[in-house]
Chains A and B, each alone.
Chain A
Amino acid sequence: MLSLKGIVGGYANTPIIKGIDLKIERGEFFALLGPNGSGKTTLFKLITGQLPLLKGESIIDGQALSSLTALEKAKKIAVLTQEAHVSFDYTVEEIISLGRYPYQKGFLKNLSKKDYEVMESVMEITKTTNFEKKPFRTLSGGEKQRVLLAKALAQEPEMLLLDEPTNHLDIKHTFQMLDLLKEWQQARGLTIFAILHDLNVASLYADRVGLLHQGKFLEVGDINTLRKEDQLEKVYEVQVKTQSHPAIPKPQLLMTPNFRETPECKDFFQSYSIEKNEKYVHLTFEQPLRTISNGVIGDGIQWIKHFCNFHVEKHYNCSEPDKDIQRWMEKHHIPHEQSVGMMTAVNLEDVIVSKKRVGDNHSIMAVVTAGTGNAVDISSKVKAMEDVKIGTINTMVFIDAHFTDGALVNGIMSATEGKVRALQDLQIKDPLSNTFASGTSTDSVVLAVTQQGEKTPYAGSGTLIGKAIGEVVYEATTNAVKKYLKRVKVNDNS
């Protein structure tokens, strides 16, 4: 469709674009990325012919762009820029009709029936039909941009050049606009070549991206190019972390500011408060902790300040546990968006808190409630019971350290190993298979880290900290299960 060969060009004698080769296929969405001043807009102007090429050539459909007249070019390429000032009170329809300029023929150059048909169809697609008689000036930013898009589409171009078309739009209109373009791209095979300043938006919509740096392409490739953090950091000079979009398999970037709030360095064991009663155990930390958990709410990896374990009746109807926990939290004025919530039927008087210092810099605390009525041997072939009894081990581990995401998963493993080992040593058995149990059927775990001090990439049993996690969890679980067994015995006797 479009191929650029060794393009050099820019203003006067200082080339801003210093040699660019690029091939854009028909029907693809190509996003041109790069920081301000990297030459994105200049490259566009070289393609549209607003700036002269110093070297190289740009070829569209086998013809050199420079050999085309303005009219011929307008039938192939339409341009949509970030803002357009329209003077006088032209109506939307009149603006859109300008897109038919290259097709008007005859002496009077009236709009033909075909022109009106095209205008109507693009107005329908861009949802601008409703205000076709309104003056353009009175529209909102999003509406204006849609009208200008309609004008560009009325040119029936093979290729659309977009220069930050969503710059002034809010997220609603940005996504509307890009969804619309994507639709048109897929339905009509329109080729889209867009400058997008938002890398995350580019990742969601583009088929390929090109990263421009000081007038040259650093890399051209599919969207996974955006996973190369080092490259982005070099170009944008911002700390970048790539994550995957939670719903679709595309990278999303998270930027870390250089500015950081430095929290007061308090002793770890002084930096939280704990509230215990028969309804719940609630730990509040002064600073949010980097948390990994499978709690009823607050699951996944997050930053969390509040950690709750709620008591429920033995025959609690668990059809909507997350809604219930949210409601209980609201009742006790705990912000559920910043909380991990678990539930247990175990008597909360039996909660165990174990603390341990590791080396000079690290501290660990485990908060465990345990019941073993539903103890399960994970390796047993017998099907688990339908009838759920009291019996859940809820483990909360708080660590004063700085973990990578990998270390968080390591930490979960270490905590689990500690728990399994405790059940084994206490000879807890799966009542169905009569083998040693490895846990209960509904165990919850949360591992929360302060992210202070030096970063640790590992927290498995081979490391000091991993070992300590296992030890603390082992100790707390052992004590919690012992308390539970004692209470069961007392209840049985009475």
Chain B
Amino acid sequence: MRNSSTRKFSNRKIIWLYVFSGGFVLGTALLGLLVSSVSVPIPTIFHIILNNSINIGWLEDIPANVESIIWNIRLPRVLLAFFVGASLALAGAAFQGLLRNPLADPYTIGVSSGAALGAVIVLFFQISIVGLGGYTLPVLSIIGGFIALLIVFGLVRLSSRSLAIETIILAGIIVSAFISSIISLIIALGDRDSMIQIIYWLYGSVRMRGWSHVQLLIPFMITGTLILLMHYRELNALALGEEAAEQIGVNVNRGKILILIGASLLTGSAVAVSGSIGFVGLVIPHLVRLISGPNHRHVLPLSLLTGGAFLILADLVARTIIAPKELPIGVITALIGAPVFAFLLMKERIGKGAK
């Protein structure tokens, strides 16, 4: 067949992309474990991780404090950064595919804000729903995000017939602003300590979270990821528009709802453990798409890997750049993401004008 050679070529390119992304994840993870004020040699790091996870150790006399730094502080931090980055990037890729526009992400369409409100309410009022225990935080966060999403879509439906992306982003900004004011109100009602705590949390950080937060995130992250990965074909089909997708056999309504639920699970749980970290969900899928092409079969998993690795790196920068003090990770991602967003917006406009 004439096509097989070109098909092989593009297959090989995709395989290399996966290898590269996987390497990026491992590399950044290792850097994240290695770089710090206390330097621990790489073999020791491996020993500690393997010893604690699957009981294979070969070194003797590891000081308890070193072991604690690696196992209880750095590893969960790196993992959390990876999971949060992966979740946000994957959710962003899904929103972009669903709304057929590369400018959508959990942040710009208001989901993050809703999730943040849910989280702030739990943190501030120390709510714990019976039966959920510690999971009250991510669950309320997810619900908050989903409600915000529904409000945004409701606003768009009421104001215009089509799901024009400008309208969605505008509605997202309106809803975000409204939610921010509610959060400010809650903060203003509290005392100084909790105020500082919440404001710092809002900036976004994966600092001082530990294993408990990794645990909070994992079930939702896995569920959301599976839901989205299983719907890559629907996301591809939606590129034709909803009507055309229906005509090739896609159950559009079910697909849309599941994709929105999956993306909300990811966003909500990520926000619950790390605060609002912007622009990861916007920039990463876009860059991935530039390299891999728009096929969601690859955009989704590659965004997941790259987003995770990117956030590990961002966290590394956040805690080393003004050491011993730390920057909130959201500051780093925004510093990188905002100019990229502006660039994309201009590119989109220029693209439209040139047509």
Contacts and interface: CB of A to CB of B under 8 A. Distances in A.
A383 interface: no
A102 B248 contact: yes
Given A101-B233, A109-B233, A89 B251 contact: no
A91 interface: yes
A91 B293 contact: yes
Interface stretch (A71-79, A172-180, A369-377, A434-442): A71-79
Contacts of B72: none
Interface stretch (A2-10, A24-32, A80-88, A325-333): A80-88
A73 B239 contact: no
B240 interface: yes
Interface string B219-254: 000000000000001001101110110111111100
A269 interface: no
B244 A81 contact: yes
Interface string A217-241: 0000000000000000000000000
B289 A84 contact: no
Contact of B295 (A86, A94, A116): A94
Given A88-B102, A94-B295, A74 B239 contact: no
A78 B246 CA distance: 10
A472 B152 CA distance: 85
Given A70-B251, A109-B233, A120-B3, A86 B240 contact: yes
Nearest to B99: A87
Interface in B298-346: none
Interface in A95-149: 95, 98-99, 101-102, 104, 109, 116, 120, 132-133
In this complex, the member of B239, B250, B251 whose beta carbon has the largest number of chain A beta carbons within 10 angstroms is: B239
A288 to B, nearest CB: 42
Given A86-B239, A98-B237, A133-B6, A78 B247 contact: yes
Interface string A41-83: 0000000101000000000000000000111111101110100
Contacts of B250: 70, 101
Contacts of A73: 249
B249 A70 contact: yes
A155 interface: yes
A90 interface: yes
Contacts of B252: 70
A116 B247 contact: no
B101 A87 contact: yes
Given A88-B102, A101-B233, A133-B6, A74 B249 contact: yes
B247 A90 contact: no
Interface string A298-321: 000000000000000000000000
Nearest to B234: A101
Contact of A48 (B101, B102, B241, B247): B247
Contact of A84 (B1, B97, B240): B240
B294 interface: yes
A135 B249 CA distance: 23
Contacts of B247: 48, 74, 77-79
29 contacts: A48-B246, A48-B247, A70-B252, A71-B251, A74-B247, A74-B248, A74-B249, A77-B247, A78-B247, A78-B248, A81-B244, A84-B241, A88-B100, A88-B102, A90-B295, A94-B236, A94-B293, A98-B240, A98-B248, A99-B248, A101-B233, A101-B250, A104-B233, A109-B233, A116-B1, A120-B1, A120-B3, A132-B3, A155-B248
Interface of B: 1, 3, 6, 97, 100-102, 233, 236-237, 239-241, 243-244, 246-252, 289, 293-295
Given A90-B239, A94-B236, A133-B6, 14 more contacts: A69-B251, A70-B251, A70-B252, A73-B249, A74-B247, A84-B240, A86-B240, A87-B239, A89-B293, A95-B240, A98-B248, A101-B250, A102-B249, A120-B1
